[in-house]
Amino acid sequence: MLDIKYRVVLASKSPRRQALLKEIIPDFDIALRDIDEAYPATLKGAQIVEHIARAKADAFVNELADDQLLITADTIVWIDNQVLGKPKDSTDAIRMLNMLSGNMHTVYTGVCLLTTTRRRLFSTSTDVYFSKLSEPDIRYYVDNFRPFDKAGAYGIQEWIGYIGVERINGSYFNVMGLPVQKLYDELCQFCSVNR
């Protein structure tokens, strides 16, 4: 059981991240801040999410108390050497799902752990294989689930995941937005906790 000597703060408005973190840390605070999620065009895959997770943590660096541990995260979908972020609208979501249909893509999540004295940055990747999706299935999903707050325009835990994901290689929870097992291990090391 994880016993952290800090007051944990999750800097995320994602309900999925909040629910996943609650499974390993039942009591934590939530802090929100709008930040510029731009990144240099030269970055690829894991570099992007680590850059953004670090930027999210940097927004709080002067506000942390000595007894607080901040967790930030960012998730992207990476396909054909490009990022699929959150869709702007239905048309954009349909475009993204058509790109994913019948293909493999990689989901990257970067996480930053920050206290007043230490910082730890890491990332996790998961390969996701989609079956060929029909146009009616894509439209049904977008119209009914409105995945506009999700990287790549889909939630693996939703209807589209049940009918479209053939298999994954890596962490399922990473695809949801927080690699819980890796985070647990990193927290144990960061806090020098013996399991």
Among all residues, which ones are annotated catalytic?
74
Longest dimension (CA), the chain: 53
Residue 150, SS3 per DSSP: coil
Instruction: With CA atoms as reference, report the closest residue to 12 among 36, 34, 45.
Output: 34
Distance CA 97, CA 74 (A): 20
Structure tokens at 160: 């589209």
Torsion of CA 9, 20, 172, 50, to 10 degrees: -10
Q: How many CA atoms lie within 13 A of 155 on its CB side?
A: 17
Distance CA 32, CA 66 (A): 19
